Amino acid sequence: MYKQVQQQQPAQINTPDNSGLFSLKTMRLLIVFFSILLYAYTLSFEYTLDDTLMITSNDLTLKGFSGIGDIFSNDAFVGFFGKEKDLVAGGRYRPLTHAMFAIEYELFGNSPFVGHLMNVLLYALLGIVVFETLRKLFKDIPPKREWLRHIPFIATLLFLAHPLHTEVVANVKGRDEIISMIGSMLTVLFSIKYVREQKIKYLIYSFLALLIGIFSKENAITFVAIVPLTLWFFTNAKTSDYVKTIAPLLLASAVFIIARYAALGFLMNNSIQTEILNNPFIHSSKADEIATVIFTWLVYVRLLFFPHPLTHDYYPWHLEVMSFSNIQVISAFIVVISLIGLAIMLFRKKHVVSYGILFFIITFSIQSNLLFNIGTFMNERFMFVALLGFSIITAFYFSKIKINDLKKGVYLLIIVLVLYSGKTISRSMAWKDNYTLFTTDVKVSHNSAKCNTSAGELIIDKAEKEQNPLQAKAMYTQAYEYLLKAQEIHPTYYGAYDLAGKAAFYLEDYTASFEHYKMCLTISPEAPIPVNNIYLIALAAIHDNRHSESEKILTWLIDFAPDSLHYQLELASLYETTGKVGQCKNYLIDLTLRHPEYAKAWGKLGEIYGKYFNDLKQAEENLLKSITLNPNEFSSNENLGIVYGMQGNGEKSLEYFLKALAINSNVSRLHTNIANTYMQMNMQEQAAEHFRKAEELVKQQK
């Protein structure tokens, strides 16, 4: 930048209320209007992505006002998972914005409109705070550097327009970034005001501002370093000023750390995650991890200059783990070293570029993956605060162009803002809902296991509501392809197999569905849902007369869960369906010998004896055995009534039919049998009543 002008130098320009082209009031109005214009479309959007974790499925949020105390005393993920989940380093403790979501839910219910409206308005407020803070930084400008007064307005517009911000603003949960930066920038503003005006109230304000920032998102703690850095570059602060301005920031940080420790029970949980979606470096050497992290910094730099294509998903393996022998890593290392060297070289000159670089590095450091593992390779929202450093540097060079060639500078700035804004608006459209987001981003993050799985899941959800069978089948096919891709990328990803099993089932590929669910059990042997789904596949195969498949699946289920007797009973029924009645009878005899307490097996055996072998005596004995074990066995009571009827014992037949009726009165067949029994007993009125009831039930079933 410029060196501070000594007091004996009389010529000094105080920041005017205009920036050459516009009045101060006009600039403020333009910033607000521009911010709202960029994201007005999002007001009609649904909740997306992490909104599920923090809002729509977070029990602490859904408690409204009564949940605020729990929000400040627990990890944010407790509300979603119901317990502590060590999914990310350090946990998640951002109670201020979380409490805002709870308040909104209490006042407005489940309203994404309100959530998006708040984000847009707060983003506009952030624009004003950034602008006013930068105005204070560039307040006293030497005559030869008068052109620097353009920087605050230009930097603010560039910051607001940049497409990397779309995830933060268009995703309601991203409010933590917005509020955190508002608090952080106010901390800088009040610290500057204190140094220049020496009023204690500004130290109190800076303390409160940092509390707002840090309780919204912990990376605001980097402003404990940003404040003295800013004082060095933009003021003639004395040593005592540094001490006095840093003290309230250290106090605010201490308050946060104490509150965080009280809520989570630890300062930094560095437990090693064994799932690559929570730790992409789990199978990498430390050298390769650092090399990959440095490479992601190059990706960030590229996105600053050319923000395309954009995606919310940088999970494995959208980016690959790299080594220091990779030319891209070497290039990234050279870029990083060059920027650091440039910042150091210009530091003593208090140059704007040096400040911008150091601002970027410091604010990005906590999310850079270098200090600790953040659980993914990178994320565009991690640039939110750091991007202001880039915007300041860019505005510096735009201002130099403007002073040398006003028309050229203005035209070039307009072109950049139009391009940025167009990309921001078009990118924000992807955040309309989860379906749009995942099916859009999977085309970019096509090697991400998570994005392929999520896209598959959302397409299945939509296909289940599709009325056109051909269209639904096409959607299930597309979803299945994404899920197979996810399995290829991440061979032990439970969700990819679970959803693939579902898609294959809808496509009536029962064998493939069966294999996917078997893999789920290989990954998670104690999971109950895959076993239930495999049983449903067997039943569907029976319904579709695909008996060889159903027999194979039922046989596997019996081997997998030998104590689940209903699988064995279903296999016996399958033998009956396929005409293997002898095999069915022998299987049931064996089943009753192995499990003599199983009432359904005795009942089914009695049914087989009577229905196929006309052995009414054996049928009666087995059915009575079944009823003795379980008097409420409907089919055994009904079948025993049939056996006694065939034996000509109307009274006994009616007795067991009525017992069956007491268990279930909504079976038309039973009412018909009762009616026929009454007819044989010459009880016409009772017979007519049950014939009528049977007819009513048949109509209801239609």
Is residue 677's pLDDT more than 80? Answer: yes
For the whole model, what pTM was predicted? 0.88
Count how many domains the chain has.
1
The HSE-up count of residue 285 (CA atoms within 13 Å, CB side) is 6
State the average pLDDT for the chain. Answer: 93
Q: Is residue 12 part of a domain?
A: no
Q: Is residue 498 part of a domain?
A: no
CB burial of residue 380 (10 Å; 0-12, 13-18, 19+) = buried
Q: Is residue 38 part of a domain?
A: yes
Q: Is residue 337 part of a domain?
A: yes
CA distance 409 to 688: 96
* Residue with token string 């799932």: 275
Give residues with Cβ within 8 angstroms of 621, minimum separation 6. Answer: 606
| CA-based nearest residue to 585, from 567, 568, 605 | 605
Q: Is 83 or 227 the better-scoring residue by pLDDT?
A: 227
Is residue 483's pLDDT more than 50? Answer: yes
| CA-based nearest residue to 151, from 169, 137, 167, 165 | 137
pLDDT tens-digit series, residues 621-671: 999 999 999 999 999 999 999 999 999 999 999 999 999 999 999 999 999
Q: Is residue 592 part of a domain?
A: no
CA distance 401 to 403: 6
**Cis peptide leading into residue 317 (ω within 30°):** yes
Q: Is residue 528 part of a domain?
A: no
Q: Which of 24-28, 73-77, 189-193, 517-521 has the lowest mean pLDDT?
A: 73-77
pLDDT tens-digit series, residues 79-131: 988 865 554 556 789 999 999 999 999 999 999 999 999 999 999 999 999 99
> Which residue range(s) make up the domain with 398?
24-264+282-425
Q: Is residue 67 part of a domain?
A: yes
pLDDT tens-digit series, residues 576-601: 999 999 999 999 999 999 999 999 99
Q: Degrees (nearest 5) of the Cα angle 600, 603, 607?
A: 135
Q: Is residue 102 part of a domain?
A: yes
